[in-house]
Amino acid sequence: MTDLPTLPLLLILVAGYLCGTIPFGLVLSKVFGYGDIRKIGSGNIGATNALRTGNKTLAALTLLGDLLKGTVPVLVGRHFAGETGAMIGGAGAFLGHLFPVWLGFKGGKGVATYIGILLGLAPIGVLTFAVAWLGTAFAFRFSSLAALVATVAVPIVYYLLGLHAVAGFVAVLSLIVWIKHHPNIRRLLAGTEGRIGAKG
């Protein structure tokens, strides 16, 4: 078996990154007349902050866009370079969402794009994420904690199913999600993190 050429893999990485940099939350918030979403709520460009506008359609479209920009590069990467290409495309998209060149490398926290990548790699990961998220959210009422628990559960399930390379790759993405959530983790430890459904 011959090694995959480096140039196509690099192109897949760059294309994935550029796809990941599309700031759907920012673009859609302006289209819907809310201006710069970075000046609303937490200042994040993701769906959770888009929901703080009170416009559920805006939030849903932002979520869909952030999901697809994770899924599409994975599928394109797989088409051209198999599973290696799929993971490289996903890595590019994830980094693009977190560190978009157009926004001074200040992007979102990556959860929606993470889920989109799971959908492209092996959809059982999306089901695992959903079950872990819903169970944790129901028990503790913290969205951030639910996401963190879910990102731990997914690579474990992948590994148990024998998808070892995918499990290792997703574990790295999960670690990055945890790093990006360090303000939430501090608030959770301090008891000041907002609960799901809380006012204000």
Helices and strands of the chain, counted as H and E runs: 9, 0
Contact 197, 141 (CB under 8 A): yes
Contact 69, 20 (CB under 8 A): yes
Q: What is the pTM of this model?
A: 0.94
Collapse the DSSP code of 197 into the 3-class scheme (helix H, G, I; strand E, B; otherwise coil) and give the result.
Answer: coil
Structural domain boundaries of the chain?
Answer: 1-121, 123-200
Residuewise pLDDT in 10s, the chain (200 residues): 346 678 899 999 999 999 999 999 999 999 999 999 999 887 888 888 898 888 999 999 999 999 999 999 999 999 999 999 999 999 999 999 999 999 999 999 999 999 999 999 999 999 999 999 999 999 999 999 999 999 999 999 999 999 999 999 999 999 999 999 999 999 999 999 989 876 55
Collapse the DSSP code of 117 into the 3-class scheme (helix H, G, I; strand E, B; otherwise coil) and give the result.
Answer: helix
Contact 120, 75 (CB under 8 A): yes
